[in-house]
Amino acid sequence: MTSTEFDTTAAAFVPAPATAYQGDIARYWNSEARPVNLRLGDVDGLYHHHYGIGEIDTAALGDPEDSEHEKKLITELHRLESAQAEVLLDHLGPIAPGDTLMDAGCGRGGSMVMAHQRFGCKVEGVTLSSTQAEFGNRRVQELGIADHVRSRVCNMLDTPFANGQMSGSWNNESSMYVDLHDLFAEHSRVLKVGGRYVTITGCWNPRYGQPSKWVSQINAHFECNIHSRREYLRAMADNRLVPQAVIDLTPDTLPYWELRATSSLVTGIEEAFIESYKDGSFQYVLIAADRV
Ligand SMILES: C[S@@+](CC[C@H](N)C(=O)[O-])C[C@H]1O[C@@H](n2cnc3c(N)ncnc32)[C@H](O)[C@@H]1O
Ligand SMILES: CC(C)=CCC/C(C)=C/COP(=O)(O)OP(=O)(O)O
Ligand SMILES: [Mg+2]
């Protein structure tokens, strides 16, 4: 094994879940195969489990009566999901090819591939799902980048990485499955001083008062526990993560949801996202923080 290669035996090891809840989440993602995720990923081989941002390209969508319309709609939804990951990566700051990044809750690995393609760096992903880790590792083998990008089955609250090993780390729609104090303690441990942490997440808005019925519906749909914006900022402050940018992406994600609601790939959760974003009870937020 050369110094640039990963030890793939570590990627194949599947530990027992730390809690019964984590076992539920592992089972959930092991059996997930929704067309809204797989058909979008098939567009260019980047498989995401997050949502999209940006304006709809109506010219690319063309005429709704066109026989190719559904295919164009899928391509457009996928473009918006990749645009979301690009915005997350924009906020990591300068990353060098010799750096390592951590993707906490990496899903099928689309964001990790994009990070490597942009920075040339190593990317370590952790997910509770062995199906997702195998999928991600197969994909990077096909792309010939398995020496730089690796997924493993691992609890993001208790990773095998060394103190200060990471130049940057992120959660892309994966922080609603864990306690935020435990999560940010782990990011703070693995990040070097001066490293950057970024999250894009859905959070309930403290200005609304308490989680709305729509937020409760989203929690039940995904078996997750959405936190408030206040909780994010407090848990970061308690763990040496100092926000450098807090961006409300809610207006940028609404077009994605409104377009998705017209597609054949709807899953039934579209109304809860659209209504909660519109009534102000739920927000789609990016937070970038410096590890100090
Ligand atoms: C909605 S998906 C997001 C996937 C990915 N970040 C993306 O943008 O495509 C949520 C992910 O969080 C992971 N996850 C949830 N709790 C976790 C934990 N305690 N440790 C590691 N991964 C976890 C799940 O396994 C799943 O991969
Ligand atoms: C913003 C919030 C609250 C996200 C919850 C986490 C989640 C399930 C994200 C999308 O995953 P997915 O891409 O598998 O979902 P879907 O099948 O709906 O596209
Ligand atoms: Mg999806």
**101 located within any domain:** yes
**76 located within any domain:** yes
**210 located within any domain:** yes
Q: What percent of the chain has pLDDT over 70?
A: 96
pLDDT band, residue 14 (cuts 50/70/90): confident
Domain count, the chain: 1
**53 located within any domain:** yes
**3 located within any domain:** no
**Nearest protein Cα to ligand 1, atom 4:** 107
**119 CA → ligand 3 middle, Å:** 25
Q: In angstroms, rounded to a whole number, what is the distance separating the alpha carbons of residues 7 and 82? A: 29
- Residue 221 near ligand 2, beta carbon < 6 Å: no
Alpha helices in the chain (DSSP H): 8-12, 20-30, 35-41, 58-61, 69-90, 110-119, 130-143, 180-190, 213-222, 229-237, 250-260, 270-279
pLDDT in tens, 101-112: 999 999 999 999
Instruction: Check which CATH number belongs to the domain holding 160 and give it.
Output: 3.40.50.150
Range of the structural domain that residue 255 is part of: 8-291
Given a cut of 50, whether residue 121 has pLDDT beyond it is yes
Residue type for 212, please? S
**105 CA → ligand 2 middle, Å:** 12
Quote the ipTM score.
Answer: 0.99
**23 located within any domain:** yes
- Residue 286 near ligand 2, beta carbon < 6 Å: no
**30 CA → ligand 3 middle, Å:** 15
- Residue 267 near ligand 2, beta carbon < 6 Å: yes
**1 located within any domain:** no
